[in-house]
Structure 1
Amino acid sequence: MTIEAVINVDLGGPRINRHVYGHFAEHLGRCIYGGFYVGEDSDLPNVGGIRLDVVEALRDLNIPNLRWPGGCFADEYHWRDGVGPRDGRPVMVNTHWGGVEENNHFGTHEFMALCEMLGAEPYISGNVGSGTVREMSEWVEYLTRAGDSPMARLRRENGRDEPWRVRFWGLGNEAWGCGGNMSAEHYAHQARQYGTYCRDYGDNRLYKIAAGANGTDYAWTETLMKQLGHLGCRHISSTAYHALSVHYYTVTGPTWEEKGSATVFDTGEYYTTMAAAARVEEVLAGHAAVMDCYDPTGSVGLVLDEWGTWFDVARGTNPGFLYQQNTLRDALVASVHFDVFHRHAGRLVMANIAQTVNVLQAMILTDPDSQAMVLTPTYHVFRMNRDHQDATSLRVDFRTALPSRAVGDAALTTISASASRKDGRLLVSLSNLDASAPADVAIDLRGGAVTATDATILTAGLLQDHNTPQSPSVVAPRPYDGVTVAGGTLRVHLPAHSFVTVSGAL
């Protein structure tokens, strides 16, 4: 049976904010040290200690923003320890992630240099858990204030004359857990206070993001929204923060201590993972519905600044480093998430995958022995989807029932799709989550004709396939000829467990 769908290419929807393709880099395991930062004495090509091949690979994704320094680490990080001459920076213990010593050689200036090299906007997560209002306020001043002031003078003493532009600031992280074990009511007052003292300097306008809920904790979101407005109110009375975050990980193991292997899993575990990934739609829709009650005009943003798969660490690695491999399964988790992000473009303003290098669902893995760099299957999904950034989201309406599979008490729809229009081109993304059955999709393109198409496919022989330094291209995109367009109909053959993008001129 052919699955039929309709895309009205001439009907505009909300803009897909490029920042939903954001990334996350925490002082955790080998994400910073050994990932982004190798030190100036490294034999690897680097600038100021920042590894150049990693930067070059990530630039090809058009990374819009990078969140730092955490995560849980953010709420024990004191920024003054990471500025000034490196040999004079104090050592701390990273109590959250492995109990290792942190020498603070990668600090504010190094992070800002990394963002400039990537062409990405910085998103700084401030310390609310163990820090002070003054500490965060002075960090904003240090980074963004021109002219003469104590923090501007300190920045100049440390080698930077002109201020940086830093819009995105997180008011803490996971305040319900590692960020302080606060109640929603207590944190809401903290967010208002911290947000009040994070100032705009010059033409740098802060976009302050309150630490939001864990998964489906909609009561946390409602508490934060009550601080900004009233039920049904079309005017937000406070600007202490401009957005709320939420965290949702795809975790499928029987217990938190037993999350399952990243590479050794059966078909049943695969489907359980995909059903958990698809649940992100419910999570975002639920938080958006609560926000709509207090902010019907959509002026407050929703930020999913931690998402991705979380499996058991790779055997033989430090349990506190959260290093896991990345298979075709991870790639399909990412493709499903992006389809959901595109559908919720009206409220979702940012998302950050956890994490960019060597941690959880990473874009890049670096081998500590050979120093080789490996692009993961998830990296390729970001690359294939990059032209959705800042595009107009288009609805994909299915006219036939979509295939599904029972997964526990839930039903997993095995076809996922989204589409957008930008600069006279159409981009359609399609995933077939069925582990063994192919599918055919016929899309009626209305309101515009596609004159030519380019198609790319990402798949592999096995769901468990992944890339290594010895075999770096086991899961890699390739041109695809299973696409035709005729008479206004786009026909796509989707092999089992595959992700396909189709681009065409309008």
Structure 2
Amino acid sequence: MTSFIDLDLGKGKDVISKHIYGHFVEHLGRCIYNGLWVGDDSPIPNTRGIRNDIVEALKAIKIPNLRWPGGCFADNYHWKDGIGPREDRPCMVNTDWGHVVENNHFGTHEFMDLCEQLKTEPYICGNVGSGTVQEMQQWVEYMTFDGQSPMANLRKKNGKDEPWKVKFFGVGNENWGCGGHMKAETYAEKYRQYQTYVNNYSGNNILKIACGPSEADYHWTEVIMRECMKETQQLKNSTHDKPIHSVWEYYRPQMWGLSLHYYVRNRLNYTSATKFDESLWFEYMQRTLYMDELITNHSNVMDQYDPDKKVAIIVDEWGSWYEPEPGTHPRFLFQQNTLRDALIAGVTLNIFNNHCDRVKMANIAQLINVLQALILTDGSDMLLTPTYYVFDMYKDHQDSTLIPLDLETRDYLFGDGSIPVVNASASRNQEGKVHITLCNLDPNRSEEITFNLKGENAISSVNARILTDPAMNACNTFEQPDQIKPCNFNDIKVQGNWISIILPAKSVLAIEIAFK
């Protein structure tokens, strides 16, 4: 059977936010310390302690936002310990990740410097689990107030006269678990309270993100939406015929986004990142596709309180999770990254693209040396993983208009299970070029695909890049850092506005189409 994709280029209306392609760094293992942060006295080339090679690699994929300081770490982090002269900062025990002692040398100033070097938006996650309302309020004031105040003056004393811009702020993390083991009703009240004091100063406009559910906890979503959208519903249902600019509007709980966390893993039996057979390939592809069901179902719950989709789903933790590599610290979560992870990333990003009416931001976990990392380091050496290359291949979707597509494809059968062979998304940028990203989930068979592009002049050029390898577990190592990377794909036939290709087994393909 030939797979068929039908695209009507005139039907696109929703924009794929660039923030879907966001990232995440946590004080966990070697993500920050001995990862992106080496200190300004390191022989490894750096700018104010931040590795230059990592910054350049991330700028190349147009990283749009970066989440910090966690993760579970966020609800144990007290920001004032991470400011001022580094030699005076108190050490702390990282109780979440291995009870290692940290020196707090990477704090607010260092993170904001990193974001400025990357030209990316900071996404700060505040401490609800063990922090106070005052602590959160003061952190926002410290970062963003341009004037005379205790916190602004403290920032200036620490060397930053001008305030930073902070676009995204998360009010707690996983408060159903490591962030306090709260009931949904308890967190809803906490959110309503804490977010009140996440203020906008000096023209800075913060988009507030509430802690959302773990996986399929639809009760959590229902409670948070119900309790945090009450005043919004009352205002919407009001019989007033004039705009309301009263204290009602000012004080009502504000929630731009609701987070969702989902990892592709087997909770009962964490498996190896590199040693697996086809049964585990198939299982992890199934688990990856489950993201589509989660987003659909949570969005349906949210529609009851927010039918206009003003509140976004923020998938700020996602990715694959395996057992740590042998010989490494079990709480540092260091794992290799294979072609299987490239497929997991490609399929997941396609799902986010296709749900861009509700999904407005996402953050893969994590950036360096932790879980489904884009970059691995070993001393001064650095390598790019297959997942990094997927982000590079997909970057043209950022802020482009989603093109809905009709996809007919065969099933990939294994044992008693079946999943669609082809997974895809498409978009059109402001220059009129169309980008299509495809994944072949079958590790054994190639797939012929025919595309019908309607509503445009004839095709003038088609360019494509592919990521694949004969081995399911192909990965880059420090001995062979370029084992798997994208290459040009030329097996493309064009006739008018029809395209046909043969998509190799276990591959990710990115196509760019220009028109006459």
TM category (shorter chain) comes to over 0.9
Of 377-386 and 469-478, the range deviating more from structure 2 = 469-478
Could you give the per-residue CA deviations for residues 317-346 of structure 1, whole angstroms, max 9, x where no partner exists? 000100000000000000000110011000
How far apart, CA to CA, are the structure 2 residues paired with 1:241 and 1:297?
14
CA distance in 1, matches of 2:153, 2:3: 63
Aligned-partner Cα distance in 2 for 1:401–1:232: 43
Superposition deviation, residue 231 in structure 1: 12
8 Å CA contact retained: 2:411, 2:418: no
Matched, 1:235 2:236: yes
TM-score of the two chains, using structure 2 as the length reference? 0.95
| Aligned equivalents of 2:50, 2:415: Cα separation in 1 | 44
Matched with 2:335 is: 324
Kept after mapping to 1: 8 A contact 2:421/2:440: yes
Q: How does 1:26-105 map to 2 (within 5 A)?
A: 26-105=26-105
Shift of 1:99: 0.7
Structure 1 residue 242: Cα displacement: 1.8
Aligned to 1:454: 463
Give the structure 2 partner of residue 178 of structure 1.
178
CA–CA distance in structure 1, aligned partners of residues 415 and 236 of structure 2: 43
CA contact (8 A) 1:374 1:472 kept: yes
2:203 maps to: 203
Counterpart amino acid of 2:470?
G
Cα distance in 2 for residues equivalent to 1:243 and 1:430: 28
1:113-262 → structure 2 map (5 Å cutoff): 113-229=113-229, 233=233, 235=236, 238-252=252-266, 255=268, 258-262=269-273
Partner amino acid, structure 2, of 1:347: R
1:396 to 391, 402, 405: 405
Partner in structure 2 of residue 504 of structure 1:
513
Counterpart check, 1:412 vs 2:419? yes
Q: Is the 8 A contact 1:27 1:73 kept in 2?
A: yes
Shift of 1:11: 1.8
The equivalent of 2:244 in structure 1 is none
Instruction: Name 2:448's counterpart in structure 1.
Output: 440
Q: Is the 8 A contact 1:405 1:412 kept in 2?
A: yes
Write the letter of the residue equivalent to 1:296.
P
The separation in 2 between residues aligned to 1:427 and 1:419, in whole angstroms, is 6
Residue of structure 1 equivalent to 2:345: 334
Counterpart CA distance in 2 for 1:288 and 1:407 is: 32
Distance, in Å, in 2 between the alignment partners of 1:431 and 1:30 is 31
Distance 1:252 1:9 in 2: 39
Query: In the aligned structure 1, how far is the partner of 2:392 from the partner of 2:76?
Result: 34
Give the secondary structure class of the aligned counterpart of 1:57: helix
Counterpart of 2:356 in structure 1 is: 345
- CA-to-partner distance for each residue in 1:199-242, whole Å, 9 max, x for gaps? 00021111010011000001101101012336995939734322
- Measured in 1, the distance between the counterparts of 2:509 and 2:13 equals 22
Structural mapping, 1:100-111, within 5 Å: 100-111=100-111
How many Å separate the matches in 2 of 1:231 and 1:488? 51
Equivalents in 2 of 1:232, 1:77: separation in Å? Answer: 32
Task: Establish whether residue 465 from structure 1 lines up as the match of residue 474 from structure 2.
Answer: yes
Would you identify which runs of 4 or more consecutive aligned residues in structure 1 move more than 4 Å?
230-234
**How far has the Cα of 1:401 moved from its partner?**
4.4
Kept after mapping to 2: 8 A contact 1:25/1:357: yes
Offset of 1:279 from its aligned partner? 0.4
The answer to whether structure 1 residue 283 and structure 2 residue 302 are counterparts is no
**Matching residue of 1:474:** 483
Q: Distance in 1 between matches of 2:231 and 2:125?
A: 29
Tell me the distance in 2 between the aligned counterparts of 1:235 and 1:480.
52
- SS of 1:261 mapped into structure 2: coil
Structure 1 window deviating more from structure 2 (411-420 vs 125-134): it is: 411-420
2:192/2:228 contact within 8 Å kept: no
In structure 2, give the amino acid aligned to 1:310.
W
- Is the Cα contact below 8 Å between 2:262 and 2:291 reproduced in 1? yes
| 1:232–1:129 CA distance, 2 compared to 1 (3 A) | closer
Aligned counterparts, 1:255-270, within 5 A: 255=268, 258-270=269-281
1:3 corresponds to which residue? 3
- The offset of 1:492, in angstroms, is 1.8
Q: Which amino acid aligns with 1:413?
A: P
**Partner of 1:114: helix, strand, or coil?**
helix
| Rounded Cα–Cα distance in structure 2 between residues aligned with 1:266 and 1:355 | 25
Q: Counterpart amino acid of 1:250?
A: V
Q: Deviations over 1:360-401 (max 9, x none)?
A: 000000013xx2101000000000000100000011102x44
1: distance between equivalents of 2:135 and 2:415? Answer: 48
Residue identity (%) = 49
Q: For the residues of structure 2 that align with 1:461 and 1:318, how far apart are their CA atoms?
A: 31
Amino acid in structure 1 at the alignment position of 2:190: Q
User: Partner residue of 2:246?
Assistant: none
CA deviations over 1:435-466 (Å, ceiling 9, x no partner) = 10000100100001321011100001101010
**CA separation in 2, counterparts of 1:485 and 1:429?**
17
308, 313, 316: which one aligns with 2:319: 308
Q: Distance in 1 between matches of 2:230 and 2:255?
A: 15
Deviation at 1:407, TM superposition (A): 6.1
Query: Cα deviation per residue 1:75-126 (whole Å; 9 max; x = unaligned)?
Result: 0000000000000000000011011001000000000000011111000000
Deviation at 1:73, TM superposition (A): 0.2
**Aligned-residue RMSD, C-alpha:** 1.5
Match of 1:385 among 391, 394, 398: 394
- Are the structure 2 counterparts of residues 427 and 186 from structure 1 closer, same or farther at C-alpha, using a change threshold of 3 Å? same
Aligned residues of 2:8 and 2:453 also touching (Cα < 8 A): yes
In structure 2, the CA distance between the partners of 1:110 and 1:185, relative to structure 1 (3 Å rule), is same
Stretch of structure 1 that moved more, 123-132 or 447-456: 447-456
Instruction: Give the deviation of 1:48 after TM superposition.
Output: 0.8
Give, in angstroms, the shift of residue 402 of structure 1: 2.9
Unaligned runs of 5+ in 2: 238-248
* C-alpha distance in 2 between matches for 1:337 and 1:416: 10
Following superposition, the deviation at residue 49 of structure 1 comes to: 0.5
CA–CA separation in structure 1 for the residues paired with 2:18 and 2:184: 30
CA distance in 1, matches of 2:300, 2:101: 43
| Contact 1:302–1:348 (CA under 8 A) maintained in structure 2 | yes
Structure 1 residue 13: deviation in Å? 2.7
